[in-house]
Structure 1
Amino acid sequence: MNISVIIPCFNAADTIAIQLEALANQQWSQPWEVIISDNGSTDNSISIAQEYKTRIPNLRIIDSSDRQGAGHARNVAAKVANGDALLFIDADDEVAPGWLAAMGEALAKYDLVAGYDDYKKLNDPWIVKCYQYENGTGVIENTYYLPFAGSGNLGIKRLLHDAIGGFDETLYQSEDVDYCWRAQYTGAKLQYVPEAIAHIRLRDTLTSVYHRSWAVGKGGVLVYKKHRPLGMPQLVTWKTFIKTAMILTFQVLRLQIRDKESLGRWLMSFAWRAGQLWGCIKYGYLPV
C-alpha cells in the first residue's frame, strides 16, 4: 500500500516544523511520500519545509495558490500524488508515533478511515474544556445524520477520492463533513482507527473561537442545502433559535459566565446559532 500524506499549508511557519518533525520519525514498510500543498503562504513556511527534504523520504512541495481554501489545496495535491491511499493532516497539528503505520494498516483493509484526535498536548486546559474535548474525538457518531471525521486525521483510498470528485471547493467550512458523507453515499463505511493518534491544535483566543463558530454555523447551512435532497434531516427550525436565545439570556442573567472557559462556551453557542441564522438568510433557507 503506497501512501501519500497530504498537508495543505497557508502561513504555518509557527507550527509546520512540529508536524514535519513528527513525520520524520514515522515508519512504514512500503513506499510513502509527503506532499505539502502551499495555498499562497506569505511567511517562511516553505523555507522551513525545505529543510526537511533530507529527513523525510519523497517530500514534495507543490503550489496550490491559484485558489484559496484547504479543500482546493488537498485536491491539487491528490491529483499529483503517487499513493494508492491518501492521508490528510494539517500543518498546525502533530501526528503521534506510530500514526502512519496504524493508518496504513487500516487502509489496507478499508476504504475510508479516521484516527483519534487528542487535544490536550497542544492546547491550554481552558480551551479544551471550552470545546468539551477532554476525552478527544474520533469518528463523530452521535449526529443527526451520517458519521464524519475531521480532515486533520483522515485517510481514503485513492480510487474512492477520485470517484467522489475530491473535496467540494465551493464550501468554505465543513468541507470534510461533506467529503465523508459523499464517500459514504458510495457504500463505504467510515472506520475508526484509535491507534492512529493526532494531536490537534485548537483556536486559542476568545476572538478566534467566536469567528470559527460563526463560520461553522453559517457554512453548515450550505452543507445542509446540498445534502437535504439526499436525505439529511432538517437542520434547524425557528423554535431552535428562540430556545437558544432564551438559554443564553438566562445564563447571563443567572451570572453563569464566571471565567474564561464559561465565556468561551457561551460565545461558541451564541456565534454558532447566530452564524446559522445569518446563513439561513444569506443562502435562502427558511427554518420552518
Structure 2
Amino acid sequence: MLISIIIPTLNEEEHIGSLLEFLTSHPQKDQFEVIVVDGHSTDQTISIVESFKIPLFKSNPCSRARQMNEGATRAEGEVLYFVHADVQLVPTFVNDIYDAVSRGIQSGCYRFKFEQPTNPLLHINGFFTRFPFKWCRGGDQTLFIAKEVFKRINGFDERFVIMEDYDLLDRIESHGISFEVIPKSIKVSARKYELNSYLKVQLANLKAMKMYKKGINPAEIKKFYSSTLN
C-alpha cells in the first residue's frame, strides 16, 4: 500500500524545508510519495520545494480545497494523507496509518499539541483534540482517507475557501465512513496565536464555526476571518 502525502503551500518558506527534510530522510520513504501543490507563493517556498526534487504543482485559483483536490488527482497511492506545511509529523505515521487501514478504518487524523506554546492555555486546545467531537477537529491535525472513499464523496468542496476541512468531515460522517483519532500527537505551529491574542483567536474560531453551521457563504466567513486576525 502506498500513501500519497499531499501538502498545500502558500508562502511557507519558514516551515516547508523542515517538513520535506523529515520526509525525504524517513526510513520508510519507499512506502509513500510526496506531492506539493502551491497556491502561487511569493516567497522562497517554490525554490525550497524544488531543491528537494519533490513533485510540485501550482493551483489556480489559490484555495486550499482546490490545492488538495489537485494533489489528489495526481496521487498514485491508495491512501491520501493531507498535511499542512507547518506541522511536525510523528516518526511512526506510516505504521500508524497502515495499522488503522488494516483494521478497516477508512479515514482519520492525529491529536495535536503546539510547538513551544507561549501561552499555557494552548495546552488545553491540544488536550481536547483527543476527544471525538467535531469542534475539536481541524486541518492542523492532518487527515488520512482512502482514495476511493475520497473520490466517492467528491473530495473537498471547492466552494469552501475556508472551513473546507469541516465540510469534508461532515460528509465523512453523513456517509457512514469510519473515522479514528490516532492516539499520538503531532506538533503544530502556534504562529496564529503569537500574532493575535489567545482570546481573539478563540472568539474568531467560534464565530466562524457558527457562521459555517448557519450555512453562510464561505466567502463571507473568510472575509470575516481574514479581517479579524493577522
- Shorter-chain TM-score tier: 0.7 to 0.9
Deviations 1:37-84 (A, max 9, x none): 10111111011112223xxxxx311111x1122111111111111111
Aligned to 1:124: 117
Q: Give the alignment of 1:30-45 within 5 angstroms.
A: 31-45=31-45
User: In structure 2, what is the Cα distance between the partners aligned to 1:186 and 1:171?
Assistant: 19
How many residues are matched? 216
Counterpart position of 2:166: 177
Q: Which residue of 2 aligns with 1:85?
A: 79
Structure 1 residue 112 and structure 2 residue 107: aligned? yes
- Residue 161 (str. 1) matches residue 150 (str. 2): yes
Alignment pair present for 1:76 and 2:70: yes
Contact 1:85–1:158 (CA under 8 A) maintained in structure 2? yes
Residues 1:20 and 2:8 are matched in the alignment: no
Larger mean CA deviation between 210-219 and 110-119 belongs to 210-219
- Residue of structure 2 equivalent to 1:249: none
- Secondary structure of the residue aligned to 1:68 is coil
Q: Indicate the SS of the match to 1:177.
A: helix
Gaps of 5+ in 2: 226-230
Distance 1:97 1:51 in 2: 23
Name the residue aligned to 1:261. none
Question: Shift of residue 170 of structure 1?
Answer: 1.9
Secondary structure, in 3 states, of the residue corresponding to 1:199? strand
Assess if the C-alpha contact under 8 Å between 1:174 and 1:216 holds in 2: no
The DSSP-based 3-state class of the residue aligned with 1:20 is helix
* Code of the aligned partner of 1:199: K
Residue identity in the other structure for 1:21: E
2:188 aligns with one of 196, 200, 204? 200
Using a 3 Å threshold, how does the CA distance of structure 1 residues 130 and 3 change in structure 2: closer, same or farther?
closer
Q: Which structure has more RCO (C-alpha within 8 Å, separation ≥ 6)? A: 2
TM-score (normalizing by structure 1) = 0.66
Q: Residues 40 and 124 of structure 1: is their aligned pair in 2 closer, same or farther, counting only changes over 3 Å?
A: same
**Larger-gyration structure (1/2):** 1
* 2:228 counterpart residue number: none
CA RMSD across the alignment: 2.8
What secondary structure sits across from 2:121 in the alignment? helix
Moved more, 8-17 or 209-218: 209-218
Q: Using the alignment, how far apart are the partners of 2:188 and 2:208 within structure 1?
A: 21
Cα distance change of structure 1 residues 166 and 99 upon mapping to structure 2, 3 Å threshold: same
Normalised by the length of structure 2, the TM-score is: 0.81
Taking a change above 3 Å as real, the CA distance of residues 60 and 151 of structure 1, as seen in their structure-2 partners, is same
Separation (CA, whole Å) in 1 of partners of 2:167 and 2:207: 15
- AA aligned to 2:5 is V
Whole-Å separation in 2 of the counterparts to 1:105 and 1:112: 12
Q: Distance in 1 between matches of 2:170 and 2:95?
A: 25
Matched position secondary structure for 2:46: helix
Q: Structure 1 unaligned runs (5+)?
A: 54-58, 228-274, 280-288
Shift of 1:95: 0.8
